[in-house]
């Protein structure tokens, strides 16, 4: 493995914060031989800035300034005010390493002060022989807030097989990470949710529709479509299919119908929650997992009770709708909390109720779900696919809202990810008209 | 001296403050490659990023050759990247509004 011979010294500037900076990971085999003679830093005292001037250092300083001011130099850091020294124009690193300083951490303004700073002022090596294989270096910054916000930025450098000799080496490195921008983004997302609790209330509203339409059950629900809770449908469909296999062809049809129906439930809930935003979308992903698991377990009970067959799936879905509706009624106000936690909890609770209701109803009386339910589910599936094929770049909740409000989506400009039209856009368009 | 600079529509401007900034500089009296490596540099960002890569070379060609000794070499390399988030647009628009007289 290659030896990394570097010297690292904290810069004069404050190094704090909770960033995550990684660098120089050598993932391949290799070896290096080097003899290093690091120039010992001279002690400097505040206020004795002018005492180090020698003809050689002055020449170096002039060359350094010329380097920095050279047109196109990547290291020309805006203003060159010499940092914040109280006693002179040169920074502490510059004074200590003025023979070598090529990069200028002190020449950036206060507003640019990094939260994480790795300043390797200078490494002087007489000779290095490198044999490296697949050197990977990465500097990155990651930030996550619950499941609401996920941010990352970084640079990767990859070096294949290399063998080289270097003599008379002077090397310098600076790694900096700033968290102000990340903090501002997180703050803005949370503030947006705080100022627009309807984004979270929209979850409750959509689930409420699910409840009110319990009698028509699956028709209303099926119009929605989304990704998050799709696992419900898959899990349920698979489980009920097993029921069908065990109990006979007739029951298999029931299973398919129930699977489609439950999948549509998932679509509706997923589409509703999708409007909360990309971060909330991830939160709903968890809901999807929960629902998927719950539905899988619940419908596992269907398998056990297959002999008792398939009675009141319609009734069970009605109960499901009622339960979800009640939950939505109570959860709508949860949006006032101003963050995604309430919305996530709400959706999770809805998922639990859904799974519970499906399980109990299907276990006890999954008998009389007949051909009508199967046909209904098939119709719903077709409708959902038609929606998916829709030309609009809009969430399905937004499509539904547009239909209800009579808004022409051609006139709506999307503000979601990649210009996607969300419910908020529809509502704003309606208000404008 | 040769300088390489990648220009992209989404390139970070000089004025923008990067979230991540990595800079390296190497000077050498003699530099000799026995094996010339393949190099690759790329940026990543979520939900998106704007980046810029600036490099500078002195007495070193864009494509080095194995077995050739280069003298009085200097290489500078700086990579900067900044997260791009939809909230940035809202932020900048608000700033624009507030800055109006």
Task: Tell if the CB–CB gap between A153 and B41 is shorter than 8 Å.
Answer: no
Q: Which residue of B has its CA nearest to A118?
A: B22
Contact A162 B40 (CB under 8 A): no
Kindly list the residues from chain A whose CB atom is less than 8 angstroms away from the CB atom of residue B34.
Answer: 163-165
The dihedral sign for the CA sequence A234, A236, A239, A245: negative
**A139-148 b/e with 16+ CB inside 10 Å = b?**
bbbebebebb
Q: Which residues of chain A have pLDDT under 50?
A: 1-57, 60, 67-87, 99-101, 107-110, 211, 213-215, 217-262, 264-266, 268-341, 361-363, 365-367, 369-370, 385, 389
Evaluate the CA torsion angle A406, A411, A413, A417 in order and state its sign: positive
Mutate to test the interface with A, among B11, B32, B37 (most CBs of A within 10 A): B37
A402 to each of A277, A411, A420, B29, B45, how far by Cα in Å?
18, 11, 14, 70, 33
Question: What pLDDT, on the 0 to 100 scale, is given for residue B68?
Answer: 94
pLDDT single digits (tens) B4-54: 444 556 788 888 889 999 988 999 999 999 999 988 999 999 888 999 999
What is the reported pLDDT for A384?
Answer: 60
Q: Which residue did the predictor score with more confidence, B89 or B24?
A: B24
Of A102, A163, A164, the CB nearest to B25: A102
Among A206, A223, A275, residue whose Cα is nearest residue A425: A275
A294 close to A352: Cβ distance less than 8 angstroms: yes
**CA pair distance A317, A357, nearest whole angstrom:** 8
The pLDDT assigned to A185 comes to 84
- B-interface mutation test, from A31, A36, A74, most B Cβ less than 10 A away: A74
| Minimal Cβ distance to B22: which of A155, A181, A184 | A155
Nearest to A124, CA basis, from B60, B29, B37: B29
CB A307 within 8 A of CB A366: no
Tens digit of each residue's pLDDT (9 = 90 or more) over A191-206:
877 887 777 666 555 5
Q: What is the DSSP letter of A161?
A: S
Contacts of A171 in chain B (CB under 8 A): 24-27
- For residue A382, the model assigns a pLDDT of 56
Task: Mutation target for B interface from A64, A153, A166, A414: give the one with most B CBs within 10 A.
Answer: A153
Euclidean distance between CA atoms B36 and B48, whole angstroms: 33
**Record: contact B33-A162, CB cut-off 8 A:** yes
Out of A78, A139, A182, name the one closest to residue B83 (CB). Answer: A182
Instruction: Report pLDDT for B82.
Output: 92
Sign of CA dihedral A65, A67, A69, A74: negative
Residues on chain B touching A102 (C-beta within 8 angstroms)? 25, 27, 76
A192/B21 Cβ within 8 A: no
Q: Are A94 and A53 in contact (CB under 8 A)?
A: no
Beta bridge partners of residue B54, listed in sequence order:
B5, B78
Residues 6+ apart with CB under 8 A from A283: A146, A147, A148, A273, A276, A340, A343, A344, A347
Residue A389: exposed, middle, or buried by beta-carbon count in 10 A (0-12, 13-18, 19+)?
A: exposed
Whole-structure pTM over 0.90, yes or no? no
- Distance between CA atoms of residues A214 and A320, nearest Å: 7
Distance from CA of B98 to the nearest CA of A (A): 16
CA distance A358 to A265: 11
Q: Which residues of A touch B38 (CB under 8 A)?
A: 159-161
User: Which residues, 6+ apart, have CB-to-CB distance to A321 below 8 Å?
Assistant: A210, A211, A212, A213, A214, A215, A217, A221
Q: Is A338 helix (H, G, I), strand (E, B) or coil?
A: coil
CA of A109: which chain B residue's CA is closest?
B17
Yes or no, beta carbons of B18 and A178 under 8 Å apart = yes
């Amino acid at each position: 493995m290659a030896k990394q011979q570097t010297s690292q010294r904290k810069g004069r500037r404050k190094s704090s914060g909770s960033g995550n900076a990684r660098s120089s990971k050598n993932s391949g085999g290799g070896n290096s031989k080097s003899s290093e003679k690091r120039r010992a830093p001279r002690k400097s005292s505040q206020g004795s800035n002018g005492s180090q001037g020698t003809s050689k250092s002055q020449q170096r300083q002039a060359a350094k300034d010329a380097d920095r001011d050279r047109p196109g130099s990547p290291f020309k850091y805006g203003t060159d005010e010499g940092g914040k020294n109280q006693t002179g124009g040169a920074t502490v690193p510059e004074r200590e390493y003025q023979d070598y300083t090529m990069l200028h951490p002190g020449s950036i303004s206060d507003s640019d002060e990094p939260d994480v700073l790795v300043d390797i002022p200078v490494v002087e090596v007489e000779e290095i022989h490198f044999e490296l294989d697949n050197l990977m270096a990465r500097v990155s910054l990651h930030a996550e807030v619950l499941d609401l916000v996920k941010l990352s930025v970084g640079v990767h450098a990859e070096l294949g097989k290399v063998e080289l000799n270097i003599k008379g080496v002077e090397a310098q490195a600076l790694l900096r990470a700033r968290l102000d921008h990340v903090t501002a983004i997180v703050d803005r997302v949370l503030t947006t949710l705080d100022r627009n609790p309807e984004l979270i209330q929209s979850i409750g509203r959509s689930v409420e529709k699910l409840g009110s339409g319990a009698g028509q059950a699956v028709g209303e629900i099926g119009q929605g479509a989304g990704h998050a809770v799709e696992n419900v449908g898959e899990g349920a469909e698979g489980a009920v299919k097993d029921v069908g296999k065990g109990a006979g062809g007739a029951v298999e049809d029931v299973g398919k119908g129930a699977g489609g129906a439950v999948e549509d439930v998932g679509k509706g809930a997923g589409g509703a929650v999708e409007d909360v935003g990309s971060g909330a979308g991830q939160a709903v992903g968890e809901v999807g997992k929960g629902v998927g698991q719950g539905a899988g377990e619940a419908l596992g009970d269907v398998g056990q009770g297959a002999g008792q067959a398939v009675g009141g799936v319609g009734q069970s879905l009605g109960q499901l709708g009622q339960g979800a509706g009640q939950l939505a009624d109570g959860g709508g106000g949860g949006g006032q909390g101003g963050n995604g936690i309430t919305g996530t909890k709400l959706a999770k609770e809805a998922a639990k109720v859904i799974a519970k209701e499906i399980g109990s109803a299907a276990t006890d009386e999954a008998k009389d779900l007949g051909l009508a339910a199967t046909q209904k589910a098939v119709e719903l599936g077709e409708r959902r696919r038609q929606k998916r094929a829709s030309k609009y770049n809009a969430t399905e909740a937004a499509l539904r809202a547009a239909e209800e409000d009579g808004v022409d989506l051609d006139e709506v400009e999307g503000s979601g990810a990649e210009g996607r039209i969300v419910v908020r856009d529809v509502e704003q368009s309606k208000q404008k008209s | 001296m040769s300088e390489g600079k990648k220009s992209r529509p989404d390139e970070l401007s000089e004025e923008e403050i990067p979230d991540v900034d990595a800079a390296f500089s190497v000077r050498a009296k003699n530099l000799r490659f026995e094996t010339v490596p393949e190099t690759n540099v790329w940026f990543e960002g979520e939900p998106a990023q704007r980046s810029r890569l600036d490099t500078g070379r002195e007495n070193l060609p864009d494509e080095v050759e194995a077995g050739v000794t280069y003298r009085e070499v200097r290489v500078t390399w700086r990579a900067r990247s900044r997260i791009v988030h939809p909230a940035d647009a809202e932020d900048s628009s608000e700033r624009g509004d507030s800055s109006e007289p």
